[in-house]
A and B are shown apart, each in its own frame.
Chain A
Amino acid sequence: MEENTNLAVQVPPLRCMTMEKRKKVIAFFRELGFEFNISRFDDRLIAQKLVCLLELRGIDLGYSCSMYVRGPYSPDLTQDLFAFTREFENLETGSRLNTAEKEAAGELGRIFGLKPVPLEVAATYGYYAIRQNCDPLEALRQVKRLKPFYSEAQIALGISNAKEFLSKPTREDLEELKKETGIWQRASLKSLEH
């Protein structure tokens, strides 16, 4: 039987691309110091929302996010997290982040600090604001509809974080944002003390 040379040429690059996108995500986990554990629900949630936020910021990781009952979500990422658990948990990667990607990872870590709730709120808000082109009020309404179990303070904090991570605000914008959300951020921090 003759070997199908076309197929032999096509399959390896496809496999490489699939592996490459996985390795890039692991490189982000490593940069963020994220010790992923598949058995922890919050870790799986953090992984999903990190990837969605990076995609929303314009970094193409190859895991497209769409709206599901859990908010913006990538079933392809879930498939890889469960199929290549050891690689994700041991942060096995040869992939390196470029300057823009390192900057994005740094901001992601600084703004969100690997906390699941702000990440989830921010990814949901960002998805409606950017992908669905909703105005800020409509995006807020959608977040509240989809995540009614989060407090007003948690939602305000998540949205403020989303704006900081996903847009490049001017100094004036940041001052305005600080005034607008300061009361909620203080309330949120206070509630954490109890």
Chain B
Amino acid sequence: MQNDILSILNESEALNAKVFSLVRLKLLASLAALGPDGATYRELRAALGINDGVLFANLNVLKEMGYLTSGKITSEGKELELYTITTEGQDEWKRTRTWLCRFLHCGA
């Protein structure tokens, strides 16, 4: 077998284990696609169907890890919170996605 499971599992040591929660993976995947444009809190809540408490807590964890930044923006006269992925966040998401693909044998 070309990719033996033990070496794939060992490669996971290079990853940040704190990223491996469903909510955090959803957030990183969503924001990675939008790049510097980012998404507002209300867009993330509606599209991902995550309740306020869980969403807020996980966004903050990702911010503390340096993977996201947030700031106030104005849209149609309303002040909203915008979340954007950082370069570190993009790199971590790429590593995680590549590893997950290998883990699931989808040939990344």
Contact = CB atoms under 8 A, between A and B. Distances in A.
Contacts of B34: 68-70, 73, 75, 78
Interface stretch (B5-13, B68-76, B90-98, B100-108): B68-76
B42 A82 contact: no
**B46, B74, B80: residue with the most chain A Cβ atoms closer than 10 Å:** B46
Given A41-B74, A42-B76, A79 B35 contact: yes
Nearest to B35: A78
Nearest to A79: B35
B30 A69 contact: yes
If over half of A's interface residues share one DSSP class (helix, strand or loop), that class is named, otherwise mixed; here it is helix
B62 interface: no
Contact of B33 (A45, A75, A117): A75
A41 B35 contact: no
A146 B75 contact: no
B73 to A, nearest CB: 4
B47 A146 contact: yes
B43 A116 contact: no
Contacts of B33: 68, 73, 75
Contact of A70 (B39, B73, B80): B39
Nearest to A68: B33
Interface residues of B, number: 20
Given A70-B34, A73-B34, A45 B46 contact: no
Contacts of A147: 46
Interface in A38-97: 41-42, 44-45, 48, 68-70, 73, 75, 78-79, 81-82
B35 A69 contact: no
A41 B75 contact: yes
Contacts of B88: none
Interface of B: 30-31, 33-37, 39, 42-44, 46-48, 73-76, 80, 82
30 contacts: A41-B74, A41-B80, A41-B82, A42-B74, A42-B75, A45-B75, A48-B37, A68-B30, A68-B33, A69-B30, A69-B31, A69-B39, A69-B44, A69-B48, A70-B34, A70-B37, A70-B43, A70-B47, A73-B33, A75-B34, A78-B34, A78-B36, A78-B37, A79-B35, A81-B37, A82-B35, A82-B37, A116-B75, A148-B46, A149-B42
